[in-house]
Amino acid sequence: MEYAFGADEAGRGPALGSMFVAAVAVDDRDAIPAGVDDSKKLSRARRDDLAAALRDDDRVRASVVEVPTERIDDPATDMNALTVDAQSTALDAVVEAGQSGVVDACDTDAERFASRVADGVDADVALRAEHGADETYPVVSAASVLAKAARDDHVDALAATYGEVGSGYPSDPTTRTFLSEYVETHGDLPDCARESWGTCQDALAAAEQSALDQF
C-alpha cells in the first residue's frame, strides 16, 4: 500500500546533542526521489542530495522537529514520550484530514505507538506504525533522510564549537574521548551532553575518581 505521509527520527541513542524527527507528506508518490532508503544505509553525500531534492520539491510537504538535550534529560519524560510528541508535532505541520500514513515505531508495541502519535495529531488521519518502516515505505525513508540530514548538520555545529566530537554515540571512541577530556579539563559535562546518559555519568565518575586518586 502507498501511504501519503510518514515520519521517522534520528538521534535517539547518542550521548551528545539533540534528537530530530521529520515528517513528510505527498499527494503524488512520484514526488519521492528515487533511491531513498533507511538513512543509515546511505552515504552522507547521498543523504544531503536527497534531502535537498525533498526540500526543493513543491509537491513535498516536510517538517523537522528538534528535541534538545534539556528535554531529553527531563526526568518527567522518556524517549518514547518525546518521540511520540515530536512525531505528532511534525505530522501536524504537513498532514491533511483523510490521509493515510505510516510512521517508524519507536516502541516495542507498534500498535500502541501508532495510537499515541495519532492522538497528538489534530487532523483526522489513518495512522499506523511499523518497526523498520524506513526500510519499507519510501515516504518514511524520505522522513528518515531529512531527520538524519538535520542531525548531521547539528553534529557539524557541535564540532565547530567543541572540536572533534565524533558521531555522539556511546560506542564511538572519539565521542568517549571527547567527553573524558572535556570533563577532565572543565570539571563538568559540556552543554551538548545528555547528562542522564550512562556514558556521560561514567565520564563524570571517572574524573571524580581520578581527582581522588591524586590525594
Which CATH number does the domain housing residue 18 bear? 3.30.420.10
Per-residue pLDDT tens over the stretch 57-71: 999 999 999 999 999
Annotated binding site for a divalent metal cation: 8-9, 104
Q: What pLDDT sits at residue 2?
A: 75
- Residues 175, 88 share a domain: no
- Residues 173, 154 share a domain: no
Chain-centre distance for alpha carbon 87: 10
CB of 65 closer than 8 Å to CB of 89 = yes
- Residues 121, 170 share a domain: no
In terms of residue numbers, what domain contains 184?
162-213
- 132 pLDDT exceeds 90? yes
- Residues 29, 117 share a domain: yes
Annotated binding site: 8-9, 104
- 128 pLDDT exceeds 70? yes
Amino acid code (one letter) for 129: A
Q: What pLDDT sits at residue 212?
A: 46
- Residues 172, 89 share a domain: no
Q: Which residue has the higher pLDDT, 196 or 28?
A: 196
- 153 pLDDT exceeds 90? yes
- 211 pLDDT exceeds 70? no
- Residues 169, 155 share a domain: no
Whole-model pTM: value is 0.94
How many separate domains does the chain show?
A: 2
- Residues 132, 95 share a domain: yes
Per-residue pLDDT tens over the stretch 155-164: 999 999 999 9
User: Which residues are 102's β-sheet partners?
Assistant: 6, 128
Q: Residue 61 belongs to what H/E stretch?
A: strand 60-67
- Residues 143, 83 share a domain: yes
Tell which residue, 71, 61, 54, has the closest CA to residue 19: 71
- What are the C-alpha distances in Å from 2 to residues 24, 44, 111, 208? 13, 27, 19, 54
